[in-house]
């Protein structure tokens, strides 16, 4: 029990997050499945229970009180957090090209995907620092790469900007923690069929989860401050 790695996956009740939880359970971790809605989180945890030790934890990126309560619970129960996977995120109607994107929609996406993730990271970082070699994985996207977006006709300003900001969090936090054993990386799932894109993606959630799982389980000589997909490193 004491040797198990302790993981928290936000947005773990569906899609890529659900499969990240499944993969970490398969790797022998004890996983806290973070979700905003208790009923959905508990149901997801029950579905995954046969695969290992999984526990629901209320985590709402827009509600600091839930983050503080979740961190306090982990401190009492575990005393550390080996793996934090920042997976939770949204995409909302009204996002689009810069000349037409609804400003309120863009602000909502940025508030959740970036500011909310920053709040989660700051809240749980003290627990990650108590682990022997913590891992923080930010689930990003190729849409967060300035290089890739500049070469493609992808027009979701708010979503792209939120993932680019998330990548900046990865780079700066990795540098801030460079003298520690903690590694911080961005995982790009690829075009995965989830409710974010109306299930139009070409990859399965399990395929989309693979890189985040790999980065969560990096060995001591693994990289930090990178963005990668299953095909390798991606440009910023």
Q: Are 212 and 87 in contact (CB under 8 A)?
A: yes
CA angle, 45 then 50 then 55, to 5° = 30
Tokens encoding 40: 């959905």
The CA distance from 96 to 101, in Å, is 5
Q: Which of 113-128 are b and which e, b meaning 16 or more Cβ less than 10 Å from the residue's Cβ?
A: bbebbbbbbebbbebb
Active site residue 32: no
- DSSP class of 5: P
Sheet holding 135-139, edge to edge: 54-58, 30-35, 6-9, 83-86, 135-139, 183-187, 227-229, 232-233
Give the active site residues.
159
């Amino acid at each position: 029990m004491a040797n198990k790695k302790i993981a928290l996956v936000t947005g773990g009740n569906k899609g890529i997050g659900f499969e990240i939880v499944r993969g970490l359970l398969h790797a022998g971790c004890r996983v806290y499945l973070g979700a905003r809605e208790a009923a959905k989180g508990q149901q997801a945890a029950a579905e995954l229970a046969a695969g290992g030790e999984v526990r629901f934890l209320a985590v709402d990126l827009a509600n600091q009180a839930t983050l503080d309560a979740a961190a306090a619970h982990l401190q009492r129960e575990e005393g550390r957090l080996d793996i934090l996977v920042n997976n939770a995120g949204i995409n909302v109607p009204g996002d689009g090209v810069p000349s037409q994107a609804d400003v309120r929609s863009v602000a909502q996406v940025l508030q959740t995907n970036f500011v909310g993730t920053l709040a989660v990271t700051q809240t749980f970082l003290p627990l990650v620092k108590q682990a022997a070699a913590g891992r923080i994985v930010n689930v990003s996207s190729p849409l967060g790469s300035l290089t890739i977006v500049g070469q493609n006709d992808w027009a979701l300003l708010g979503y792209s900007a939120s993932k680019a900001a998330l990548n900046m969090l990865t780079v700066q936090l990795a540098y801030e923690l460079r003298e520690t054993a903690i590694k911080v990386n961005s995982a790009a799932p690829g075009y995965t069929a989830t409710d974010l894109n109306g299930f139009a993606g070409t990859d399965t959630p399990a395929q989309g989860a693979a890189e985040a799982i790999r980065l969560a389980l990096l060995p001591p000589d693994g990289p930090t401050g990178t963005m990668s997909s299953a095909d390798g490193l991606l440009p910023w």
